[in-house]
Structure 1
Amino acid sequence: MNDQRQRDQALNIGDSFIVQAPAGSGKTELITQRYLKLLSSADVPENILVMTFTNRAVDELKHRIISSLNRARLHPPEEPHKLKTFDLANKVLEQSSLKDWDLLNHPSRIKIITIDSLSSLIVSRYPSIDQLIPPQTMINTYEYEQIYQEAAENTLLLIEESEYQASISSVLLYLDNHVDRFYRLIVQMLSKREQWLPKLYIEGALDINLLEILAQELIVEYLEALRRTASGLLDKSFFNLLEVSTRHDVSKIKKLPGSTIEDLSDWQTISELLLTKSTGNWRKKIDANIGFPAELKEEKLIFKEILESFDSEVEFKKILNNLSNLPSAYFPESTSKSINDIAQVLKLSVAELKVIFKEKGLQDFSEVGMQAIHALDSRDEVSDIALLLDYQIKHLLVDEFQDTSYSQLSLIEKLIDSWQEGDGKSIFFVGDPMQSIYKFRESQVGIFLEVMKGGIGSLKIKSLALSANFRSNKSIVEQNNKIFSQIFPNQDNLLLGAIHYSESSPASQVEQIDAVTFYPFSVDQDSEEAEMVVSIIKKSISNNPNQEIAVLVRSRSHLNAITILLQESSINFEALKTEPLRSNLFTRDLLSLARAMLSLADRLAWLSILRAPWCGLKLEDLLVYSDSIDQTIFSQLIDADIVKDLSDDGALRSRHLFLATEEAIYSEGKFSFVERFSYALSQLCTEIELNEQEKSIRSQFLSLLNHCELNQSLDIKTIELMIKDLYAPTQPASVKLMTIHQAKGLEFDTVIIPGLGKKGKNDSLPLIQIQEFSNNNILLAPIKSSYEDSESKTYLYLQYLQKQQTHFELMRLLYVAMSRAKDKIHLLGSVSKTGRAVSGSLLSFLSNYFQQFIDDIPIQDAIIPVETSLPKFQRNKMLPALSSRVINDVIQSKNMPNNIDLIYQSVLGSTVHYFLEHCLFEPSFESIEVRFKEFGLPTKLIQSYSKAASLLLLNTKRDKDFEWLFKYRDSTEVEAEYSNASKTVIIDRLFIEDDTLWIIDFKTASPNDGESMSSFIGRQKHSHQKQIKIYQEVLDDFFKLPSKAALYCPAASQLIII
């Protein structure tokens, strides 16, 4: 392995490193080894902190480390890299024994957390006055927009106060008094406030003179680079040629312009002479428009020869083109006032948001991150970070460092602020700048380059680069090297986020014919492209049924046609957060039912549930209801004058809908909404009519309704907002559909990447563009006002920087997708009507490499519209509301199904679990009632449920097995959370006795009326055996001990051994 020296060096724990680890290079194994090496000589495990960015990465690292420790007690592995981990893990176990850590029984001492979790921990421990208020709750995703909107509205209301009237009025006028636009732009800015708020408080950020100085420095720096490039290309003969031009602005240029602000116009003139304005290519036509009329025939020929000599000068052409993207050297006076007014309004909106957070006891991740930085800034109040964390950090490891944002970097810098060279502390950053694809989360790949170049804080940091690829076969590695060495830029650029490509070397020598295959399509062939994807999947499964196949796309919408064809082909697939819950037809039916029950006057909702499969009314019958608008559709269902105009089938199905919803609607006030909804749904469709996905969606929807009702936010707007960010559940399968972002960090045997020819959506323009340069210099510009025709040159320059950063990130996104594959890559994409790859598409990067295939695509003269089939009209065969009871029978409330009882039973179980977890077996009745009130249990049930909980706890204490269950053991863990690669489990009680791992699961179930104890025990075993098996499978990865499991049922005083 040609990078073994670097890998060995990375385990020198006396030094700090930043390691570039490309895809497939064994990054996780390396950070695991570094962590184990540190642990083997640590005083306490808490001295070492590992940070990463996602919970999935945290789980993977924890699993890898704990598994390594467990395997260390077995026979040594044969593989050299695994043997290294094995030896390090053995040394950790020796240290654990020497220091009495007992790590395998106390894995919580292994500190691996997300950076967001660290921020939350710091904020929760920070001793500020604000913390005297109750702990704040993290707001749900669906609440973000509502909260930000409220802050925006409150900001506008401040216009009535004299202190703020001028600035708010000015901004509102700036936006042509468009209030909705004012709200929309403020909401957009608040959602990203951690990115711009600190910058607005940098000294001089709003000083127009300093902004001009920075803009001028940027222009001069650019002209210097242009002059260096042009000096070897534009010689004296070129400028002699310009002297004869009939245009004064051309003929006055006697020599190569300088690099001052005054020289900019001459450079722009030269650019106009050499390049066409429309395409930006070298000019082909020399005419009077650029000062060379027909009579200058000889000069025109010379000029043409000069231009032809520039054909290969790509960099020169690029620099000339980008002259038009430079900022303004001087800002108009009105800009200064606009900037200050907008900044004032933005600061006010943040203040209003803080007020809302405090009043409602809420916070978001941005707030937590900024508060954490503030806490670490307060070293006069908190002199030692250990006081905030309860432990002293001596070694910091950060995984996926390429995904760091500047605010997160600030947090890291403050964590190590007091560290000095030679004090025995170390930093270890590992990541791959070629896989930095989270710009939308404000990750800045330039940070990785900055740290590689200049270190961090006062610590010297060494750079290492890995090159071996253990994932892909030789053919894929070599193809990727060839492709991406052409695509990626030759040089790094911190400002633009440009990263050069670092080649990988294959660890495997296996070669694969057609390892990378490209399938080109014309613009009108979306359906053919989807069919080809399914064909590739079928062939791949046929060749190897056990392989994992991934279909990776840039956008979820690119999977729509593919999912339909896979379903039609009866191919099982796992769609990871790809189908929005709200786009699922069954979800739409549930939403319609909720709307209908919340408002009898909502005619569209009632017509929708009449048409839904559980009723299935035909169009001619639906028209009967839509024609009559004098009464609600619910009342029309039993109106004889309406029903007589229906077909026999329509009348029967209408009666079914009425009977299914009647009791649920008339029981308002007697039962909760979720009870009534659940009952109506059970009457509308039977269990047998629902597939597994629909059953999962039903449970998800009922939980959502229950949450809304408990939080007194039961309205259709809130329900739709909650559904907005949810995805339809899916079942595990070997064929996986996901976005490229979701696939990062994963690997598959075969990777299929369709939709390469499609563009992503454009970002909306922010109220103010802000870019931070070196030395805390800030350049900013406001969006154009309603009375301006176009954006300012500075705003466009900042927008150009954003577009360039997005352009380079798109290259890296393609690299991430193509580096997931072990054996085969299939690339599919369509070209535009002109036969070229669409600009801004992933295919635009690959088109040169696969040009010969693209040239063979037959291009249609006109786009043939693709026929899109509407969802097939479906009707359930069974109408349970008719079959379960006689028509006109009055439904008794005792016949209500027990769906809601399950929710309340789970609340009872959670309450009992809480007291058992804290070993409180005789709590006061009041404390039990408080717990039920916090869960939102209806008042009428609190007393009876509190009695039930009290009795269960008392039964526990009186049980013959009480002493054995709850006696003190060093190994005991309560509510213990463990994860393996695929599952996370939480165990009620866990302990080791006589070298046997005991898994105890508490259950509040009790025997049914007349049920014998033996039948009850049998029923419980049958119900929970599968779940217990999952517990044992997960725990087997952590505890290499024989295990036993038992259910403890205090209601029956039974310890049931499974």
Structure 2
Amino acid sequence: HLDNDVAAAVDLVAGMLGRRDQWLRKTGQAPERAELEAAFAAERERFTAVARELLPDASAELAAELLTKTFTWRKRNKRAQALEAEDRDGRILQALASLLNLPPAQYTEAQWTVLSAMLALLPRAVAELKLVFAERGQADFTEIAQGAVRALGEPDAPTDLLLSLDVGIKHILIDEFQDTSISQRELLERLTAGWQADDGRTLFVVGDPMQSIYRFREAEVGLFLQARHEGIGGIPLEFLQLKTNFRSQAGIVEWVNATFPAVLPSREDATAGAVPYAPSVAHHPRSAGEAVGWHLFDERTDEAARVVEVIRVARAADARGSIAILVRNRGHLDHIVPALQAAGIRFRAVEIEHLGEKQVVQDLFALTRALTHPADRIAWLALLRAPWCGLTPVDLSLLAEGADEAVWDLMRDASRVAHLDAGAQARVARVVAILEPALVNRLRGNLRDAVEGVWLALGGPACCRDATEIEDGAMFLDELERIEEAGDIADPDAFAESLEKLFALPDLEAGDDAVQIMTVHKSKGLEFDTVIVPGLDRAPRNNLPPLILWKQLPDAGLLLAPIHESGGDKDPCYEYVRRMERAAEDLESGRLLYVAATRAKTRLHLLGCIKRADDGDAKAPGKRSLLHPL
């Protein structure tokens, strides 16, 4: 099925293990064919029922008669034209279009052959993962969460732990409930399984479904919607909706109320994750001046220049006012950060720059590789290029070009070093004098001490531009100490990957009035006097399609589909689940924009770039950009 691509198969299994709580049954077994096909059949019934509420004879066949392949009304069909005139809000069109995208109710034998093999393998892979956890004394979040659920038992067979907790727990309060995952809901249902009506115990959950933006952490906003209507674990909930906005001035609140009904969906749908807009009432009066500013440009450099100008104007109006730049992705700052630096504007970038991207960390990584692998030519050349030695590209070429020996041997070869000028020769000699004893004695202590000792002797900290870079270097050394085994790095690629998962520190020397830069996700729960949101025209990154797609539905159904065979036709089940995931991502994008806009207290500035046609007219923004619904 994968053309014997073993690496792809390994990635498939690893990806499934990372989200095993979604497909692994509590018995430790994978789901069976009947229940998987039942989930697809239920999806067909759900969409058919919705369509028949609007059109009693709705069916996939009727939809094909009335709609074109691009899901528009057929011009030469009288009934289609009559329905188009009747369908003012587009609901009938949308319902019929959904019938043309229904998944098959059953797998083909070829599909099931692939899935059954995988479902037989996965429980064994889970068992192997548990052995690895036991050997290393480690666990991931999923293992901890599943362990907590297992420790509580089943609702009809509670453990002693659950019984003791049931006696002690009287009240449960959960904040940010809109970002609850299916596993977390299951844990909550276990904790409240023995509760009875009027027994004096209370369950209080707080959340705003319009701010559910953590699908990448398995958050399912549909669980919030479901709990609102059905309760949790048999416990009915009384729904209270708060409407007063205590953060933003009236001008921003009015703009949000006028704009977001068109950005967010008009109807609620727990399965799809659709959350309609709920208007709010401003507590603060309107401030003088424009509440929301629009700035569109042809070039990224112009957009970055306007960000600088907006900050200067905001500073002039209120020197102590807080300012934040919020972006969808870190890559959207490529032009903005250099513009701020050129303008002398201090800023704090919160979890924006990965540790592995910092120059001091790259230099330390090269030093580490050189000490552990003397034949690593690239690492040694990078070590000599680093600021503590500072050889130029020409110097490196004179020293190493045409030579097969290790760079360390060339550094001690007087005839090779003689090609360098006097200053470069002196710097190489100094590095050799420091590294020689370190290489001789390297295995006598741990790797972190060896690298840190050489770095200090070379004057690495003195080469750092500020205290922040020194602290970034210290973070590298801490991570090195954590990952080293027997004085070496067993897997250099894994070490480099771990550095990419860590974030460099923000500017430690920036004052409290520095501009804050962060992703929209990081800004959740915060507020700023002036909020700047650039890059609205940018679309989210397109991820490579996984080898297996699955979606856990709020009603506990599981949709599971394998990618098509290499060189084969697209798999209809796979494409259906993929469309569901894409639609859920797009719905969350609207909520992401809502979160960004509602961080502003006084001023909101929205920026983006437009593309132009050959005649100079502006093109419509991409459909997946935040600018499109605006």
Same fold (TM > 0.5): yes
Cα separation, 2, equivalents of 1:785 and 1:686: 52
- Determine the structure 2 residue equivalent to 1:841: 625
- Determine the structure 1 residue equivalent to 2:51: 226
- Gaps of at least 5 residues in structure 1 are 1-173, 232-257, 287-299, 847-1058
- Determine the structure 2 residue equivalent to 1:269: 65
Give the partner amino acid of 2:174: V
- Determine the structure 2 residue equivalent to 1:176: 3
Q: Secondary structure at the match of 1:325?
A: coil
Alpha-carbon shift at residue 556 of structure 1 (Å): 1.2
- Determine the structure 2 residue equivalent to 1:420: 196
Give the partner amino acid of 2:545: L
- Pair 1:826-2:605 in alignment: yes
Give the partner amino acid of 1:223: T
- Would you say the 8 A contact 1:206–1:339 is kept in 2? no
C-alpha distance 224-688 of structure 1, shift in aligned 2 (>3 A): closer
- Would you say the 8 A contact 2:67–2:74 is kept in 1? no
- Determine the structure 2 residue equivalent to 1:356: 132
C-alpha distance 583-739 of structure 1, shift in aligned 2 (>3 A): same
Give the structure-2-normalised TM-score. Answer: 0.91
1:498-897 equivalences in 2 (<5 Å): 498-522=274-298, 525-685=299-459, 687-690=461-464, 691-709=466-484, 714-715=489-490, 716-730=492-506, 731=508, 733=511, 734-773=514-553, 776-786=556-566, 788-791=568-571, 793-834=572-613, 835-846=619-630
Cα separation, 2, equivalents of 1:381 and 1:224: 38
Cα separation, 2, equivalents of 1:380 and 1:570: 65
Give the partner amino acid of 2:424: G
- Would you say the 8 A contact 1:421–1:458 is kept in 2? no
C-alpha distance 695-214 of structure 1, shift in aligned 2 (>3 A): closer
Q: Secondary structure at the match of 2:549?
A: strand
Cα separation, 1, equivalents of 2:399 and 2:177: 61
- Would you say the 8 A contact 2:443–2:487 is kept in 1? no
- Determine the structure 2 residue equivalent to 1:98: none
- Pair 1:465-2:241 in alignment: yes
- Would you say the 8 A contact 1:576–1:736 is kept in 2? yes
Alpha-carbon shift at residue 514 of structure 1 (Å): 1.3
Give the partner amino acid of 2:132: I
2:150 to 358, 361, 374: 374
- Pair 1:387-2:164 in alignment: yes
Give the partner amino acid of 2:407: I
Give the partner amino acid of 1:743: S
Alpha-carbon shift at residue 572 of structure 1 (Å): 1.4
- Would you say the 8 A contact 2:411–2:417 is kept in 1? yes
- Would you say the 8 A contact 2:44–2:102 is kept in 1? yes
Alpha-carbon shift at residue 710 of structure 1 (Å): 6.5
Q: Secondary structure at the match of 2:352?
A: coil
Cα separation, 1, equivalents of 2:38 and 2:176: 36
- Determine the structure 2 residue equivalent to 1:433: 209
Alpha-carbon shift at residue 774 of structure 1 (Å): 6.4
Per-residue deviation, residues 508-541 of structure 1 (Å, max 9, x unmatched): 113342111111123xx12221222122122222
C-alpha distance 763-512 of structure 1, shift in aligned 2 (>3 A): farther
Cα separation, 1, equivalents of 2:552 and 2:161: 30
Give the partner amino acid of 1:194: D
Cα separation, 1, equivalents of 2:504 and 2:134: 34
- Would you say the 8 A contact 2:296–2:607 is kept in 1? yes
- Determine the structure 1 residue equivalent to 2:177: 401
- Determine the structure 2 residue equivalent to 1:206: 32
Cα separation, 2, equivalents of 1:500 and 1:710: 53
Rg (Cα) greater in structure: 1
Q: Secondary structure at the match of 2:325?
A: strand
Alpha-carbon shift at residue 361 of structure 1 (Å): 2.3
Cα separation, 1, equivalents of 2:546 and 2:80: 44
- Determine the structure 1 residue equivalent to 2:616: none
Cα separation, 2, equivalents of 1:412 and 1:711: 43
C-alpha distance 644-521 of structure 1, shift in aligned 2 (>3 A): same
C-alpha distance 340-537 of structure 1, shift in aligned 2 (>3 A): same
Alpha-carbon shift at residue 280 of structure 1 (Å): 4.1
Identity among equivalent positions (%) equals 34
Give the partner amino acid of 2:197: E
- Determine the structure 2 residue equivalent to 1:319: 95
Cα separation, 2, equivalents of 1:517 and 1:635: 62
Give the partner amino acid of 1:796: E
Cα separation, 2, equivalents of 1:764 and 1:603: 33
Per-residue deviation, residues 890-927 of structure 1 (Å, max 9, x unmatched): xxxxxxxxxxxxxxxxxxxxxxxxxxxxxxxxxxxxxx
1:99-178 equivalences in 2 (<5 Å): 174-178=1-5
- Determine the structure 2 residue equivalent to 1:190: 17
Give the partner amino acid of 2:539: K
Cα separation, 2, equivalents of 1:702 and 1:201: 40
- Pair 1:342-2:118 in alignment: yes
Give the partner amino acid of 2:140: D
C-alpha distance 718-305 of structure 1, shift in aligned 2 (>3 A): closer
Alpha-carbon shift at residue 399 of structure 1 (Å): 0.7
Cα separation, 2, equivalents of 1:737 and 1:601: 41
Cα separation, 2, equivalents of 1:305 and 1:692: 70
- Would you say the 8 A contact 1:469–1:504 is kept in 2? yes
Cα separation, 2, equivalents of 1:475 and 1:711: 62
Cα separation, 1, equivalents of 2:13 and 2:303: 41
Corresponding pairs, count: 618
C-alpha distance 659-419 of structure 1, shift in aligned 2 (>3 A): same
- Gaps of at least 5 residues in structure 2 are 614-618
- Would you say the 8 A contact 1:385–1:392 is kept in 2? no
C-alpha distance 313-398 of structure 1, shift in aligned 2 (>3 A): closer
C-alpha distance 307-268 of structure 1, shift in aligned 2 (>3 A): same
C-alpha distance 498-635 of structure 1, shift in aligned 2 (>3 A): same
Give the structure-1-normalised TM-score. Answer: 0.55
Give the partner amino acid of 1:692: A
In terms of mean alpha carbon deviation, does 637-646 or 342-351 score higher?
637-646
- Would you say the 8 A contact 1:212–1:330 is kept in 2? yes
Per-residue deviation, residues 979-1013 of structure 1 (Å, max 9, x unmatched): xxxxxxxxxxxxxxxxxxxxxxxxxxxxxxxxxxx
